């Protein structure tokens, strides 16, 4: 049982996390499907061999889930943050880039749901970006004064190799998407389903920790809360929220580089 599955209703997850969780399950199902077909093939030579592109599909889908989560959770928390915090220069600059100029700001005064309009502008803006590098993810959340979010998430999991495993997953996704998973000799690279399953688990644990940190910083209003993923009976206790996930170096001071 993974820490990811051990997240309980003691905290309220973001809607973005619930969507990520569903996608992560799809990735695991793909890897399990490959394993099942491969086992059947080993027992019966008449059964076609399992195509390893099933595993490659899981890799691509998993990184897409990370990309979508980063944008989704940022947009989801935007209205709450704007209502509770005075935006600093970096957030004002982001909103300007997203299209919230003076004319657009004045039009919000007559809108029934102005925050929805702001969220849609920011979502469209971030649709142009690929948030699959740790430094890019960190830069996205700096406007919420969350400093080095990915490093904080990795520390929170207390797993020694989680950063390298998520990094390997992202690198392999790029090799599949941009080169068809061919090597420099134009031969298809082998891919190991056991290793990929470890990579996906590491990604799940990373996003779980990220979501806990973000939701502790910017709690979801009661009316829009989504219960966190229910744990199984045999699941271990969820990771505690450490003090350094709430205060100190994660929260960048206004004006800090």
Region of poorest pLDDT, from 72-76, 117-121, 251-255: 251-255
pLDDT at 11: 58
Domain that holds residue 178: 15-69+131-219
Determine the 3-state secondary structure of 226 from DSSP.
Answer: strand
- Say how far residue 154 (Cα) sits from the centre of its chain: 13
Mean pLDDT across the stretch 37-45?
A: 79
More confident residue, 87 or 186: 186
Q: Which two tokens stand for residue 249?
A: 């170096």
More confident residue, 86 or 15: 15
pLDDT at 41: 79
On whether the CB atoms of residues 182 and 189 are closer than 8 A, the answer is: yes
More confident residue, 66 or 233: 66
Angle at 199 between CA 227 and CA 134, to 5 degrees: 80
User: What angle separates helix 134-141 from helix 53-84, to the nearest 10 degrees?
Assistant: 20
* Residue 209: inside a domain: yes
Q: How many Cα atoms sit within 13 Å of 225 on the Cβ side?
A: 16
Q: What is the pLDDT of residues 194-245, one digit of tens each?
A: 999 999 999 999 999 999 999 999 987 654 555 555 444 333 334 443 433 4
User: What angle separates helix 114-126 from helix 89-97, to the nearest 10 degrees?
Assistant: 80
More confident residue, 102 or 88: 88
pLDDT at 16: 94
* Residue 211: inside a domain: yes
CA distance 45 to 21: 36
More confident residue, 235 or 82: 82
* Residue 113: inside a domain: no
* C-alpha dist (Å) from residue 165 to 57, 73, 183: 17, 23, 20
More confident residue, 183 or 248: 183
DSSP letters, 191-205, are --HHHHHHHHHHHHH
Percent of the chain past pLDDT 90, that is, above it, reads 48
Kind plus residue range of the DSSP H or E element containing 183? none
pLDDT at 198: 97
CA dihedral 170, 174, 177, 179 (to 10 degrees): -150
CA distance 181 to 53: 10
Mean pLDDT across the stretch 132-142?
A: 88
Q: Is pLDDT above 60 for 249?
A: no
Average pLDDT of the chain, as a whole number: 80
CA distance 232 to 95: 41
Q: What is the pLDDT of residues 93-126, one digit of tens each?
A: 877 776 766 676 767 667 777 777 777 777 777 7
Which residues have CB under 8 Å from 7's CB, separation 6+?
A: 13, 208, 212, 228, 229, 231, 238
Q: What is the pLDDT of residues 146-185, one digit of tens each?
A: 999 999 999 999 999 999 999 999 999 999 999 999 999 9
Q: Is pLDDT above 70 for 53?
A: yes
* Residue 201: inside a domain: yes
* Residue 242: inside a domain: no
* Residue 154: inside a domain: yes
Q: Which two tokens stand for residue 179?
A: 């080169």
* Residue 125: inside a domain: no
The count of domains in the chain is: 1
pLDDT at 171: 95
CA distance 163 to 155: 10
* Residue 63: inside a domain: yes
On whether the CB atoms of residues 69 and 19 are closer than 8 A, the answer is: yes
């Amino acid at each position: 049982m993974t820490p990811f599955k051990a997240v309980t209703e003691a905290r309220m997850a973001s809607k973005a996390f619930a969507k990520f969780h569903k996608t992560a399950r799809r990735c695991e199902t793909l890897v399990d499907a490959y394993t099942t077909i491969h086992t059947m093939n080993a027992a019966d030579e008449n059964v076609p061999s399992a195509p390893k592109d099933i595993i490659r599909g899981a890799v691509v889908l998993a990184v897409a889930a990370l990309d979508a989560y980063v944008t989704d959770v940022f947009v989801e928390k935007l209205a709450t943050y704007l209502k509770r915090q005075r935006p600093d220069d970096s957030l004002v600059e982001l909103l300007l880039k997203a299209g919230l100029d003076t004319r657009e700001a004045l039009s919000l005064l007559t809108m029934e749901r102005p925050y929805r309009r702001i969220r849609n502008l920011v979502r469209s803006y971030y649709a142009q970006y690929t948030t699959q590098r740790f430094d890019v993810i960190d830069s996205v959340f700096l406007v919420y004064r969350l400093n080095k979010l990915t490093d904080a998430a990795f520390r929170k999991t207390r797993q020694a190799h989680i950063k390298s495993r998520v990094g390997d997953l992202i690198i392999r996704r790029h090799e599949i998407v941009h080169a068809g998973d061919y090597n420099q000799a134009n031969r298809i690279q082998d891919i190991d389903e056991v290793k990929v399953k470890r990579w996906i688990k590491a990604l799940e644990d990373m996003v779980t920790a990220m979501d806990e940190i973000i939701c502790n910083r910017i709690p979801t209003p009661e009316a829009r809360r989504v219960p966190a993923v229910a744990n199984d009976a045999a699941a271990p206790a969820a990771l505690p929220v450490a003090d350094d996930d709430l205060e100190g170096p994660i929260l960048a001071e206004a004006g800090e580089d």
